[in-house]
Amino acid sequence: MNGSRFSMVGKVAMVTGAASGLGLAISEVLAEAGAHVALADVDREGLNRAVGRLSAAGGRAEAVLLDVSDREAIRRRTDDLVARHGRLDAMVANAGVTAGPGYLTEAGQINAVNDDQWDRVLQINLTGVFATIQSAAKHMKVQRSGRIIAIASVAGLRSDVMCGYAYTATKSAVVNLVRQSAMELAAYDVMVNGIAPGPFRTNIASGRIRQPEVAAQFAAMVPLGRIADPEEIKGLALLLASPASSFMTGVTIPVDGGIMAK
């Protein structure tokens, strides 16, 4: 891909929540395009497996042990990456957690949401994303270039009966965080965009979406009639991380099999 508008050769990228699922798929496509990718995750063993997988495929990758609920840790890890490599070209704020089932079940109804659950989801899905964007912006403003991608959800663009209250609230907030930060950072030639996945086959919620009855419920929501594989986020992720997105900022793009078109 050297010489292509989609090339990431010579670029440095960081992806949070990169040990599995969408984060791993995004890390793979950035490495395939030539970037040096720092995979960040709280799962040490999964992280080491993921880095090994990218390295075995010829990619340049490193592991960054990181809990995104720790804002100072995000800033330190980002500063350290830039200190060692001299730049940061793409930051993907992907790490997130579920808020449990939606209101169709008694456990997901509004009266059942407890304070600890609400606070934990906000700390990771919103505050963690904010601190990730903030840590990248610090360096990208200085170098006057960069791409920031935040992983939202179609549950942040519309109501979603399958997702818990804190999840939909935080993903909606991420969409507006993308808009707000994009407006500030445009003056520095830093593009900020979001991706809003529909149902993907990942390990979130302990892989609940892999259960046949749950998978059938999610698939029924999708006009294409199926759940996506993490591989299917790669094309958009590479577009938004690469020079190909040079006139795109402040938008959150669904990858949802047609859900938002209904």
pLDDT in tens, 111-136: 999 999 999 999 999 999 999 999 99
* HEC assignment per residue over 218-236: HHHHCCCCCCECHHHHHHH
Local confidence band at 61 (pLDDT 50, 70, 90 cut-offs): very high
Would you put residue 194 in left (φ > 0), alpha (ψ -120 to 50) or beta?
beta
Helix, strand and coil percent figures for the chain, each rounded to 5:
50, 15, 30
Q: Please, what are the domains in the chain?
A: 12-261 (3.40.50.720)
> How far apart are alpha carbons 53 and 262 in whole angstroms?
38
167 a catalytic residue: yes
Residue 189 tokens read as: 């030639």
Answer whether 134's CB lies under 8 Å from 76's CB.
Answer: no
Local confidence band at 2 (pLDDT 50, 70, 90 cut-offs): very low
pLDDT tens for each residue of 142-198: 999 999 999 999 999 999 998 999 999 999 999 999 999 999 999 999 999 999 999
Residue 1 pLDDT > 60: no
Angle at 224 between CA 220 and CA 227, to 5 degrees: 65
103, 165, 167, 188: the catalytic one is 167
Write down the pTM of the prediction.
Answer: 0.95
Q: Does the CA dihedral 27-242-228-92 come out positive or negative?
A: positive
